[in-house]
Structure 1
Amino acid sequence: MKTMLQGAYESVLRVQDQSDFREEIIRFANGLGFGTVTAMLVFDHALGDSEFISIDNAPSNFHETFKNLSMGRVDPVMQHCKRHSLPIIWNQRTYVDCGQGELWEEQAKFGLCAGIALALHLPEGRHFCLGVDRDQALPSDPASLTQIVAELQLFAVHAQESAWHVFTPQGSPAAQFGARLTPRELECLRWTMEGKTAWEVGTILSISERTAVLHLNNAMHKLECNNKHQAVLKALRLGLIR
């Protein structure tokens, strides 16, 4: 298995399109002993909304069922991945202990009885989640289970690089936002970061206070923020200002 999995790390880095990526994560999951796999890219936006791109091989009727259950808000595995970087090893007990036993019963009908999931929380408000599921219990031997978790973590690091490339061909959020802002708008954000008022920014840049405000408002709009302080924080997080 080790040789096959080593090849999976290299293969997923060479994918050329979304179909290739899906095939590689399914092949990896199957080699690890799991029938179902889900990879998810998440973008956090400034106004609190998030954008999701999901790739999986779950049955179509599974999606039809759980779309109506607002699953993400109550699923303990998804909630764990939202808040933590450590993998979660889950089974029926995981759901029963948090009062979601019925949810487990529903998804078990589709062969999702036990599994492992993890999330990589990356800069620029990006997250990559990877989970593998199967219709039987996980190995009881701690050493075997630890090895599976380690293989999944290593594969996730490789897979996320390809996922961003093939599913977001326009580039990273930093590149997208950076292309929108003008040099003068970035200058106004930099001086605002230093605690300067719009009048002081205008004086430093030899422009009027009104023009400085206009540049800041434009930057706020392009960064999808409600005020200049949020815009500064987002620009810092994206690496647009330092």
Structure 2
Amino acid sequence: MSSAIMTQATAEIYTQTAFSEVVSKIDNVKNETEFRNLVSELQAISAPSFLAFIAFDHLTPTSIESKLFGNQSSAINQLLLSEEVREHCNNESSAVSLSQFGSLYPQNLYILPVHAGHNEHGALLLQIEDPQDVEHLCWYWSSIATYLVHAYIKISKQRLVAITKRERDCLLWACEGKTSWEISQILGVSERTVNFHLSNCIEKTNSANRLQAIAKCVVTNII
């Protein structure tokens, strides 16, 4: 790894002990403010390699919202939140230089998509001066990014509507194509109770019907 990248502070986070400490900090994040502070801390101790984290929220099966953690220039921020970058990160897993999205952007800035599970993905912005370091740095940071994605999903669920266990049970069986009467027989409750729970889900998710409520809960990993 080039000396330009591997400052002493950066080198320290590559040790197994330091990696475990970073993972522990990520796992203990409880809200978005703590998450944002943690990203800033990572940015400070690993400069110049790690610059920013992009989270992707699946609002609906066809709508994805980007959220940026880390301070960059307004031009870089605008690009990182663009549809082009969002599509690349949603469909690809390889790191590419930001210059691929426009000749005005620096060639030493790379966007690294990270997929951590069903509808769970994010991306990192890395500064890599020597192209020979791309593979090694991306290998290391993809591991960290997986934990960041999981942590963000965990805290983002706190903002979601509070679906109760019984409501979730009804949604799960509705997702399997069961009618309200069939669900009532499975759960041992009345059909009226099933419809009551499903109506609550529709209202809580601001949906038009149970199908839309199911879709929203699936993409946000509630069910």
Q: Say yes or no: TM over 0.5.
A: yes
Secondary structure of 2:37's aligned partner:
helix
Instruction: State whether residues 46 and 224 of structure 1, in contact with CA within 8 Å, keep that contact through their aligned partners in structure 2.
Output: no
Q: Which amino acid aligns with 2:152?
A: W
Judge conservation of contact 2:61–2:215 (CA < 8 Å) in 1.
no
Percent identity (aligned): 21
Instruction: Describe the superposition over 1:103-138 as per-residue Cα deviations: whole angstroms up to 9, x where unpaired.
Output: 432xx3xxx33322222234464332111136xxx4
Aligned partner of 2:122 among 105, 128, 133: 128
How big is the shift at 1:176? 6.0
Among residues 12, 18, 21, which one is paired with 2:22 in the alignment? Answer: 12
1:21-52 CA distances to partner (integer Å, 9 max, x unpaired)? 3131243241x4x7xx1211222123744444
Mapped contact 1:29–1:132 kept (Cα < 8 A): no
Cα separation, partners in 2 of 1:208 and 1:58, compared to 1, 3 Å: closer
Task: Write the distance in 2 (CA, Å) between the matches of 1:116 and 1:199.
Answer: 53
The structure-2 alpha-carbon separation of the partners of 1:20 and 1:240, relative to structure 1 and needing over 3 Å to count, comes to closer
Paired residues in the alignment total 204
| Alignment counterpart, residue 171 of structure 2, candidates 171, 183, 189 | 189
Unaligned runs of 5+ in 2: 1-5
| 1:98 alignment counterpart | none
Match of 2:69? 55
Structure 2 vs 1, CA of residues 44 and 188 (structure 1 numbering), >3 Å: closer, same or farther?
same
TM-score normalised over the length of structure 1 = 0.63
**Who wins on radius of gyration, i.e. which is larger?**
1
Question: What amino acid maps onto 2:95 in structure 1?
Answer: I
Contact 1:118 1:129 in 2 (8 A): yes
Contact 2:98/2:109 (8 A) holds in 1: yes
Q: Report if aligned partners of 1:38, 1:132 keep a CA contact under 8 Å in 2.
A: yes
Residue 155 (1) aligns with residue 144 (2): yes
Alignment RMSD, CA only?
A: 3.8
Alpha-carbon distance in 2 for matches of 1:235, 1:29:
38
Q: 1:212 deviation in Å? A: 3.2
Change (3 A) 1:114 1:208: same
- On the 8 A contact 1:87/1:149 being kept in 2, the answer is no
- TM-aligned CA deviation for residue 81 of structure 1: 1.1
- Hey, what's the Cα distance between the residues in 1 that align with 2:146 and 2:88? 19
TM-score (norm 2): 0.67
Structure 1 residue identity aligned to 2:174: T
> Which position in structure 2 is the counterpart of 1:38?
52
Deviations 1:54-77 (CA, angstroms, capped at 9, x unpaired) = 122313x436xx65x89612x4x4
Q: In structure 2, what is the Cα distance between the partners aligned to 1:196 and 1:186?
A: 14
Distance 1:224 1:121 in 2: 28
In structure 2, give the amino acid aligned to 1:182. Answer: T
